[in-house]
Chain A
């Protein structure tokens, strides 16, 4: 049964926000100082308090209580945010509140009340409805990334869900991923007629359209018979692993299939000795934790119950605090590549500064997306990295564009490019 969260469910969270700024600052244990001491791009860029989670909680509460009406400023405050979850991990270091779910449902409420989506987000939704991908490219072109040497199985237990970016604009990443799987001896299939995972819909509050997309994908997966969905896109990963069960009112563990990112697979294969990195990659790298693979990737745990005295929940709820995101596997992979010198940026793991692309921001406000990426590039440069590596095509795309526009001499890679090079399979970095 479809059961998307409603804003009313988060009234307690909005009322109990204590405005401590845990959503804004890098965890003080890890803060490097003034520069790079903030982890929320939205408040850093727009500065007024309605652009921080604590301000959004205040205006969301006012909306819920009928004390504030929609306005252009309200919509701007709600949508000028990457939904990167930095606020969520920061808040939950000390408190049992749900700022990110509150904002997600606030966006859904705006759309339900006819105040959204933003025109750019509507365009993406139209593209998905018509062509099943966010770009509006012909659906028949989706499998064109398949090179001659890539031979997916007709049926397999593992299904490689390619995603829109790797299918259309970053095809080398799809090729690298497939070749890594092949070289490791994995048999994998593709989803015939694959469509968008729906991330751009859910992130922009278009829940009804998202539900339709989700239902089509789940039905297709069921028909395929596969039990593991493997992805190389962090947005797809979080959508399949977290958002589908959340909207269905289920836990990830009860979905009947496993979602795996390519870094989890490669890490396991490396540790089992089934993959070896023979080819050196001489480079000083820094790893950028994609939000949707890091702090936002913990499985969804369905909770239903009541709130009592002191706000205690019955039964107790297991919060997703960003503690168990996929942080170590990509670092272990990079550290295992001969020649790689891995340096850490100041904001990492759950304190990561977003690449800027997520939450519909790159579609609706590219300047803000690139401003955010630029700040991250400066951080990478500050720690002496020659290249920034992520595990999501959208991070790479946004960093690459910011590099092109800016003066940093960095390079941006997706981790599959480096893995492919280290494994000596085609599709490695160029």
Chain B
């Protein structure tokens, strides 16, 4: 199979013969990428029939128009780490945006304009060089800044920087039909990216959706993101792989680890940090991650982890806090004194920390999630209140017991959660690990589905709605949000060409998988008007 010859020739005329390929070798190299690949997503993901690599917005626009003219389904990608961004329909075109890698920083107004191929590590360093900073996604420094901004944008640093939607400014957006829409101040002045809310249209809510459309709403080619003033000292890169790290200037940035007596005091500590408006980040870290950090090899990890007891997990409530003296050394001293007061009152026991960072400021180790087992997926992630995060984590940990093994036993650890926006919110994420060669690997998918049902049953929220069966979660969370999402999608992309099946992706996965059973009523996108 291949895309229509007329369409191919039209695409070739746009990018030139050197930037288009339908060779089976190229297409195979673009087959399903990693994240979620080892799950039931594998049943739906396939190689594209053609790959095209535009360099400019104009080329993107013309490519999308050709797709609409010849009804060629297309999937945009840049760093392409997520199986959801894999082609899922026959005869798809993959639009690889990695050549679009311009980055401009406006020092005066403290924002950066990025194209699709720019990744967080690059943006963060160029911001740091100017005394500014941004967050780096939990997915890692290798994540495309644009993709992450129009998707989720979670990071421990959101505690201070605020959620990503609030920092997203002017946007240049090639709609699914090829029209260009400029949002915010960009709508009136093509050089002004400084404001997201107008005077021009502000459709960021639609663009970002519940937690992103994964390329099902066209292609954002340029986006501006707000940068935040940082402290002035240099973070010195040190070490040789695998032990590379940023040395933190101790007069300005320090880590603090405290083990709290119980979950309630940990939750209380998170609130109190926010009430006193101190710290740059505050996270409860899964115990398993601490063992990953200590291990020298995969085998070493399993030797260490085999000695862990349920009692150790039950009594470990580590709160990891980053404090930054943004304005002065005195700020750091003040915040440290307040922190110590809070911890003394709550019984926090100080634990040793390193004067360096390799995972929050310039995240370099997210790929290590796969290191110990070869299989990893986040079962759930949510932005809600701290209280919600704690309760949901405990409930999911309890559910997980049904699926251990094959899932790695972490003895009821309720996952990772962190305070967001000075404690006004919480981000929590529940992770699972397994051996992809295990014959019962599919139980990871079963737990994934069971978690959605648990959320519905217990009234927990989910931010993972872009990767769930909409006909299961839509009626429960909406009761009609899924219908409105479908209507929006149809309004922008009537032929459903942009990363199909889009909204119904996980519904199709459930239908195709031998190990997942649908026990809810399924509607049809076609019938929604």
Binding site for B on A (CB under 8 A): 15-22, 24-25, 27-34, 37, 47-50, 54-56, 58-59, 62, 67-68, 71, 73-74, 77, 89-90, 92-96, 309-314, 316-317, 319, 321-323, 327, 349-351
**B302–A312 touching, CB < 8 Å:** yes
Q: Which of A93, A311, A314, A316 contacts B244 (CB 8 A)?
A: A93
| Mask of B114-145 contacts with A, CB within 8 angstroms, 1/0 | 00001111101110010000000000111000
Restricting to B445-461, which residues have a CB under 8 Å from any CB of A? none
Shortest Cβ distance from A262 into chain B, in angstroms?
A: 22
Once the chains bind, are A322 and B240 in contact (CB under 8 Å)? yes
Among B18-26, B264-272, B492-500, the one that faces the other chain is: B18-26
Q: CA–CA, A29 to B437, complex, Å?
A: 33
Q: A321 and B28: CB pair below 8 A?
A: no
Number of contact residues on B: which range applies?
Answer: 35 or more
Chain B, interface SS category: loop
- Report whether over half of chain A's contact residues are helix, strand or loop; otherwise say mixed: loop
Q: How far is the CB of B373 from chain A (nearest CB, A)?
A: 5
- Residues in A neighbouring B241, C-beta threshold 8 A: 27, 89-90, 92-93, 321-323, 350-351
Interface set, chain B 178-196, CB cutoff 8 A to A: none
- What is the CB-to-nearest-CB distance from B79 to chain A, in angstroms, rounded to a whole number? 6
Known contacts A62-B28, A94-B365; 19 additional CB pairs below 8 A are A20-B140, A21-B142, A25-B121, A25-B141, A27-B244, A29-B246, A33-B103, A34-B118, A37-B121, A47-B53, A49-B29, A67-B28, A74-B25, A93-B241, A93-B244, A95-B367, A314-B299, A316-B300, A349-B240
A48 contacts which of B24, B29, B368, B371 (Cβ < 8 Å)? B29
Chain B residues with CB under 8 A of A33: 103, 122, 125-126, 129
**A-contacting residues of B (Cβ < 8 Å)?**
19, 21, 23-26, 28-31, 33-35, 37, 51, 53, 79-81, 96, 98-99, 101-103, 118-122, 124-126, 129, 140-142, 237-246, 297-300, 302, 358, 362-368, 370-374, 435-437
Contact between A311 and B435, CB atoms less than 8 A apart: yes
Complex: how many Å from CA A351 to CA B101? 20
Residues of B within 8 A of A68 (CB): 24-25, 28
Docked complex Cα distance between A50 and B29 (Å): 5
Query: How distant is A71 from chain B, measured CB to nearest CB, in Å?
Result: 6
Q: List 27 A-B contacts (CB under 8 A).
A: A18-B81, A18-B367, A20-B34, A20-B81, A28-B363, A29-B239, A30-B237, A31-B121, A32-B125, A33-B122, A34-B101, A34-B126, A48-B51, A71-B24, A71-B25, A73-B21, A92-B241, A94-B366, A94-B371, A310-B372, A310-B435, A311-B373, A311-B437, A312-B298, A322-B240, A323-B240, A323-B241
How many angstroms between the C-alpha atoms of A319 and B241 in the bound complex? 12
Cross-interface CB contact of B23 among A37, A73, A327, cutoff 8 Å? A73
Considering the chains assembled together, what is the distance between the CA atoms of A54 and B302 in angstroms? 26
User: Are A55 and B29 touching (Cβ within 8 A)?
Assistant: yes
Knowing A16-B370, A95-B371 are in contact, say whether A73-B26 is a contact too (CB < 8 A): yes
Q: How far is the CA of A54 from the CA of B102 in the complex (A)?
A: 24
Q: A34-B118, A58-B31 in contact; A29/B358 too (CB < 8 A)?
A: yes
When C-beta atoms are compared, the residue in chain A nearest to B117 turns out to be A34
| Closest chain A CB from B406 CB (angstroms) | 10
**Residues of A with C-beta under 8 A to B37:** 18
A18 to B362, CA, bound (A): 20
Q: Is A77 a contact partner of B237 (Cβ separation < 8 A)?
A: no
List the B residue with the shortest CB-CB distance to A17: B34
Closest 10 CB pairs of A and B: A55-B29, A28-B121, A28-B141, A18-B34, A50-B29, A20-B367, A94-B367, A316-B299, A49-B29, A73-B25
Tell me the smallest distance from the CB of A38 to a CB of chain B, in Å: 9
B516 to chain A, nearest CB (A): 23
With a cutoff of 8 Å between Cβ atoms, the chain A residues found around residue B98 in the complex are 47
Q: Across the interface, do A29 and B122 meet the contact criterion of CB distance under 8 Å?
A: no
Distance from A317 Cβ to chain B, minimum over Cβ atoms (Å): 8
Q: Is A19 in contact with B80, judged by CB distance below 8 angstroms?
A: yes
Residues of B within 8 A of A50 (CB): 25-26, 28-29
> How far, in angstroms, from A224 to B31 measured CA to CA in the complex?
53
Highest count of chain B CB atoms <10 Å: which of A25, A33, A350 = A33
Known: A19-B33, A94-B365, A310-B435. A25 touches B28 (CB 8 A): no
Tell me, rounded to whole Å, the shortest Cβ–Cβ distance linking B529 to chain A: 39
By a CB distance below 8 angstroms, the chain A residues around B19 are 47
A312: chain B residues at CB < 8 Å are 298-299, 302
Contact B302 A311 (CB under 8 A): no
Residues of chain B contacted by A29 (CB below 8 angstroms): 237-239, 244-246, 358, 362, 364
Contact status B299-A94, CB under 8 Å? no
> Which of B34, B35, B302, B365 meets A310, CB within 8 Å?
B302
Task: For B364, list chain A residues within 8 Å (CB).
Answer: 27-29, 93-94
Closest to B79 in A: A21
Q: Which residues of B contact A54 (CB under 8 A)?
A: 29
B354 to chain A, nearest CB (A): 14
Contact of B141 among A31, A96, A311 (CB under 8 A): A31
In the bound complex, CA of A322 to CA of B367 (Å)? 18
Cα-based distance from A327 to B240 in the complex (angstroms) = 10
By CB atoms of chain B within 10 A, which of A18, A50, A62, A89 has the most? A18
Chain A residue with Cβ nearest B435? A310
Known contacts A21-B79, A28-B142; decide if A93 and B242 are in contact (CB<8 Å): yes
How far in angstroms is the closest Cβ of chain B from A342? 18
Residue numbers in A under 8 Å from B246 (CB-CB): 29
Most buried by B among A18, A55, A310, A313: A310
Instruction: Give A316 Cβ to nearest chain B Cβ, in Å.
Output: 4
Question: Complex formed: what's the CA distance from A349 to B240 in Å?
Answer: 8
Q: Among B31, B142, B365, B374, point to the contact of A25 (Cβ < 8 A).
A: B142
**Chain B nearest Cβ from A26, distance in angstroms:** 8
C-alpha spacing A401/B33, complex, angstroms: 39
Chain B contacts for A319, CB-based, 8 A = 297
Does the CB pair B122–A31 fall under 8 Å? Answer: yes
**Min CB–CB distance A389 → chain B (angstroms):** 20
Contact A49–B363 (Cβ < 8 Å): no
